[in-house]
Structure 1
Amino acid sequence: MNRKPLFALSAAVVATAIALAPVLWTGTDPLHNGAAVAATPSDQAELIKHGEYLARAGDCVACHTVRGGKPFAGGLPMATPFGTMYTPNITPDDQYGIGTWSADDFYRAMHTGRSKDGSLLYPGFPFASYTRVSRADADAIFAYLRSMPPVNVPSRPHELKFPFNNRNLLIGWRTLFFREGEFKPDPTKSVEWNRGAYLVEGLGHCSMCHTSINIAGGPVSSAAFAGGLIPLQNWYAPSLTSAESGLGDWDIQDIADLLKTGVSQRGAVFGPMADVVHNSLQYLSDEDIRAMATYLKTIPQRSEPPETMQMETSEAFGGELLQQGQKIYHDQCAKCHAENGLGMPPNFPPLANNQSIQMHSAVNPIRMVLNGGYPPSTTGNPKPYGMPPFAQSLSNQEVAAVVTYIRMSWGNKGTPVSPQQVADLRSAPLD
């Protein structure tokens, strides 16, 4: 569930916030822990605390804070197929941040994708998901952002290619891909399931990575949550549905463990999803994590994931790779992942019957062999075990061979990969 936007935010986007109107508690709702009503200092403190929690759930800090920079001061460059965008300053600075926005302005941006002056926001700001967020929760996030120290730093202008620098084109995008509306609970489902749906489809905006986008930058709705290559990041967001690499046969506890700690008996997260767990999910309550797991387990298969470019090998060459890969695996991998591929979970994840190994796309296992990596360091797993990189010690053919071996052994149903695909990914960015 990687949350880095595929387009990036408009400079006015989350420059959304507030001349803080007093907000008050109204009580508790299955979809959120509180709403607003008026007004003791302790009420306001609770509202800000709740807003901080919700901002964590939305992983706002990941996009609006550069490494080593002031929280929420923006400036993070986000490469997209349409050019580079820079995230805006959303601290309560009157000149460059969100200091002059009202609660209504903030909610309008979240709910309708329009900035304070009514201009259209780029869909890198995930308003297509945030439209589902309740007014009470939007007000809480708003209160939290208003409580942060202001940072007097201007937002950097986007560097978009023509014609994508023309915001008027967003009218067509919105007509095709945006449906405004707060989340409506399904009365046939449990409170827990509805809470999970609210978090996954709303603040979590999981579909932004786990649903493929088309050439217009819109989601392929017929294959929602069916996975896809994340543009320019060269990571494959796996399907969350019940076919290719979905969660239908996972225990809810294993899903919850993966979301909360980054590791489980079924596998570990790496790449962009490791950042999501580190920045966001580890801070959610056990109840909310279990609710998300409950919902994710029930997402139905809607269609096969879109085909990804996979260099095919001949049957004969695939057989050669398989044989070569077996020796490399024995020499380099079996100590941690075991000769039978069962690993030693959760520290060394299993490769046998691991859906992420068998997907149509071999991007993720190739990148792991080349670059190595660690699951996130979380409270539940503070000292994660890592995977060493093999880019310097294995040739393109050797990497292709060992990845072919793990994709086709122990009952795995993957296909051989090509040394050319390894070559193409060898220079891929690490983030």
Structure 2
Amino acid sequence: MRRLLYVLIFLATLGILAAFAIVGLNLRGETKLPDPPTAFNSTAQLVERGRYLALAGNCAGCHSALGAAPYAGGVGIETPFGTVFASNLTPDPAAGIGRWNSDHFWRALHNGRSKDGRLLYPAFPYPNFTRVTREDSDAIFAYLRTVPPSPEPNRPHELRFPYDTQAALAVWRALSFTAGTFDSNPDKSTEWNRGAYLVDGLGHCIACHGTRNVLGATQEKLGLSGGLIAVQNWYAPSLTSNREAGVAEWAPHDVVELLKNGRSERGSVMGPMADVVYGSTQHLTEADLLAMASYLKELPSTSTAVASTTSPKREARVMEHGQRIFDQRCAYCHGDQGQGAVGAYPPLAGNRAVLMNSPVNLIQIVRHGGFLPTTAGNPRPYGMPPFRIVLDDTDVAAVLTYVRGSWGNDAPPVTARDMLRQ
């Protein structure tokens, strides 16, 4: 009994020490609310700046549900742990942030805490927004105070136990989050530093283009090396690889065109990135887009194109089946040799999106269609219809295997296992 008592005391001591450690780690860089609150004076200029910054951060993308009031929340963000619902950011005093002051808002962005100190879920990307300056936070807050108030109540999150507890969130934060700031690199240009601030801070690009660990935290050390967007089953390609979506070899103009119009001579956007261009980057200034291009072009390269000594094995019957489908369904737009049509349909021969190791995006596009965003520079974009009604999994795998193995393409075939992963 005495030995058991000692073991229990030891375990209790470890538990207390762990609890203190978790609390201490959660307080790293903590922002204390000043008393009295910081004086806040809004101006028309500040509001306009905040409107622009909210676009740069794509705030409406999560906080504005289709057909509902702007910034009234309600959008469900699906995660492997359940669904997090975006909150109401309108100035409604009961449902929104009408009773918040600028200090509360700054703490939410910088520390991931709500007005009452409650820990926020990182579906709200405060691990990136922690780099946003206080001046920009105040500007966004000034803008949000001008949007029409909506009484739409916040929907409770639908998370599985124990992920729905503040204790579990505190453990996550202790392991995965430290409040920080954006630090300019004195060895880089002003333009490059502005691009870094937009990409790594407001733009929170790593939220999609980064790898996540088993706890759902982005792995900062791996940078923008690509990652599967959980639940949505879209792969955000690596921005550091010239085999995926790296732009080191692109002209700055082509990067700007892609972010501004959704397409350029070097590529086009579909899937979740089309939503980003539609709701955010198409509204940015030429200067900011060039800054982002400057930063993205100088990202450290993580891979180079390497010629394979052996071609992937493809079954002749699958290639023949795939070619029949391509000739019937695809060649009219993409050309008999996968050459595409300039300004309308992308080429499939030599297309990086076709040649990536992971075929998940291609499967999504064939099944559900591929649509570029409507932008001022491309107001009537061409799109690809969904084929899930007329093509079953065997057909989709066959036609993609054919496309990935024709006209000089030499990517691995699409297998039944690939189809099951979707």
For the superposition of Structure 1 and Structure 2, which TM-score range results when normalised by the shorter chain?
0.7 to 0.9
Superposed, 1:174-213 pairs within 5 Å as 174-213=173-212
User: Which residue is equivalent to 2:99?
Assistant: 100
Gap regions ≥5 residues in structure 1: 1-15, 26-43, 305-313, 426-431
8 Å Cα contact 1:267/1:345 also seen in 2? no
The equivalent residue for 2:344 is 347
What is residue 271 of structure 2 aligned with on the other side? Answer: 271
2:314 & 2:335 partners in 1: Cα distance?
Answer: 26
Q: 1:50: which partner in 2?
A: 49
SS at match of 2:155: coil
Aligned residue in 2 for 1:290: 290
Task: Output one character per residue of 1:315-349: Cα deviation in whole Å (capped at 9) or x when no partner.
Answer: 66544323432343233323322233332233211
Q: Where do residues 148-227 of structure 1 align in structure 2 (5 Å cutoff)?
A: 148-227=147-226
Residue 249 (structure 1) shift: 2.5
Equivalent residue number for residue 357 of structure 1: 354
Q: Corresponding residue for 1:116?
A: 115
AA in 1 matched with 2:409: N
Q: How many Å apart are 1:271 and its aligned residue?
A: 1.1
> In structure 2, what is the Cα distance between the partners aligned to 1:325 and 1:251?
36
Give the SS at the match of 2:255. helix
Q: Give the CA RMSD over aligned residues.
A: 2.3
For residues 376 and 389 of structure 1, the distance between their equivalents in structure 2, rounded to whole angstroms, comes to: 16
Mapping of 1:128-167 within 5 angstroms? 128-167=127-166
Q: Does 1:87 align with 2:86?
A: yes
Counterpart of 2:257 in structure 1 is: 257
Q: Which residue of 1 aligns with 2:394?
A: 397
Give SS of 2:51's match: helix
Separation in structure 1 between the aligned mates of residue 166 and residue 409 of structure 2, nearest angstrom: 47
For the pair 1:75 / 2:53, whether they are aligned, the reply is no
Q: Distance in 2 between matches of 1:165 and 1:177?
A: 17
Deviations 1:126-169 (A, max 9, x none): 00100111111111000000111211222111121111111122
How far residue 198 of structure 1 moved from its aligned partner, in angstroms, is 0.6
Structure 1 residue corresponding to 2:371, chosen from 374, 397, 402:
374
Q: How many correspondences in the alignment?
A: 381
Contact 2:337 2:407 in 1 (8 A): yes
How far the C-alpha of 1:107 sits from its partner, in A, is 0.7
Kept in 1, the 8 Å contact 2:91–2:149? The answer is: yes
Q: Distance in 2 between matches of 1:249 and 1:339?
A: 29
TM-score by length of 1: 0.83
CA drift at 1:351? 1.8
For 1:325, the aligned partner's letter is: G
The question of whether the paired residues in 1 share the 8 Å contact of 2:130 and 2:180 is answered with yes
Q: CA deviation at 1:21?
A: 6.7
Name 1:429's counterpart in structure 2. Answer: none
Deviations 1:33-57 (A, max 9, x none): xxxxxxxxxxx11110110000011
For residues 271 and 376 of structure 1, the distance between their equivalents in structure 2, rounded to whole angstroms, comes to: 9
1: distance between equivalents of 2:220 and 2:39? 39
Decide whether the 8 Å contact of 2:37 with 2:103 is kept in 1: no
Shift of 1:95: 1.2
Query: Counterparts of 2:312 and 2:270 in 1: how far apart (Å)?
Result: 31
The alpha carbon displacement at 1:243 in A equals: 4.3
Taking a change above 3 Å as real, the CA distance of residues 258 and 54 of structure 1, as seen in their structure-2 partners, is same
SS in 2 for 1:249: coil
Name the CA shift for 1:328/1:272 in 2 (closer, same or farther; >3 Å). Answer: same
Alignment partners' CA distance in 2, 1:318 and 1:222: 40
Unaligned runs of at least 5 residues, structure 2: 1-32, 305-310
Q: Is the contact made by 1:113 and 1:121 (CA closer than 8 Å) also made in structure 2?
A: yes
Tell which has more relative contact order, 1 or 2 (C-alpha 8 A, sep 6+).
1
Q: How does the TM-score come out when normalised to structure 2? A: 0.84
| Larger deviation, residues 327-336 vs 292-301 | 327-336
The CA distance in 1 between the partners of 2:358 and 2:69, in whole Å, is 37
Name the stretch that deviates more: 196-205 or 118-127.
118-127
- Letter of the aligned partner of 2:71 in structure 1? F
State the distance in 1 between where 2:76 and 2:229 align. Answer: 16
